[in-house]
Amino acid sequence: MTVYLVGAGPGDPDLLTLRAAKLLATAPVVVHDRLVSPEILQLINPRARCIDVGKTPGLSHSQSWINELLVELAGHYDSVVRLKGGDPFVFGRGGEEYEALSRENVNVEVVPGISSAFAAPLLAGVPVTHRGLSHGVTVVPGPAMSGAGVDFRALANADVTLVVLMGVQRRAEIASQLREGGLASSTPVAIIERASTPNQRTLRCRLDELGGIDVSAPAVLVIGAGAALALNGALDSIVSLGV
């Protein structure tokens, strides 16, 4: 019995690893999240048992319930695929699932996926590092970016690109805290919705405009000088708001 914690990437099935595609085609049971795209779900063996444990606000299974389900399934099947959006260990609670399974002596293998933290900027033509513009990148979760306990002065580093996941709801607060931390109001921002899907859309604005931008999740916020670049030959629809 092995549970495979598999990254599904940002949505486009062409961005799956070969290992992930092989496991989807052969595993007898697949437990998946809400953000896994329908095109990827179609790659699951049609005879496999498919369990959606997607977390929708107000209608979700607890993480401990999911952990217990995985342990139980591991007792019944030789291989279980736990399919998660992006990379399983990037804000996906894959680490907790790994630990819960290991505690029960279940063999676990991790299959990396392309995280939206990197795929979304890249597909919008935004380099997260770029000589002369940004010498590093910091990836942070929006929900944790409330005032308390967050060092916004450290995050407000104009030389480093900031990538925010799950940041749509708190975008106004994040922008104003970063400005208070010292980041210029004119700092370029790119917001990439539904990256790698046919509905990918990139919006661009300044940091002081971010709160007023109409955005829908899932989206990645990219804040920093590189966000003004579009090194993708305009592959998606770009809404430019004055950068």
Ligand X SMILES: C[S@@+](CC[C@H](N)C(=O)[O-])C[C@H]1O[C@@H](n2cnc3c(N)ncnc32)[C@H](O)[C@@H]1O
Chosen residue from 3, 66, 87, 178 binding ligand X by CB under 6 A:
87
Per DSSP bridges, beta strands 188-193 and 219-223 are antiparallel
Number of chain positions touching ligand X (CB under 6 A): 24
166 as an active site residue: the answer is yes
Location of structure tokens 């369990």? 51
Nearer to ligand X, 49 or 93 (CB): 93
Q: In angstroms, give the least distance from the CB of 116 to ligand X.
A: 3
Alpha carbons within 13 A on the beta-carbon side of 79 = 15
Q: Which residues of 81-119 are buried (b: 16+ CB within 10 A; e: fewer)?
A: bbbbbbbbbbbbbbeebbebbeeeebebebbbbbbbbbb
Binding window for ligand X (CB under 6 A); candidates: 109-117, 124-132, 154-162, 174-182: 109-117
Chosen residue from 20, 24, 81, 165 binding ligand X by CB under 6 A:
165
Chosen residue from 5, 90, 189, 225 binding ligand X by CB under 6 A:
90
Closest CA to 168 of 131, 210, 118: 210
When asked if residue 86 is in the footprint of ligand X (CB under 6 A), the reply is yes
Q: In angstroms, give the least distance from the CB of 87 to ligand X.
A: 4
CB 89 within 8 A of CB 165: no
CB 4 within 8 A of CB 82: yes
User: Among the options 12, 33, 87, 236, which is catalytic?
Assistant: 33
When asked if residue 121 is in the footprint of ligand X (CB under 6 A), the reply is no
Site residues (vs ligand X, CB under 6 A): 10-11, 35, 84-87, 90-92, 115-117, 120, 165-166, 192, 194-196, 217-220
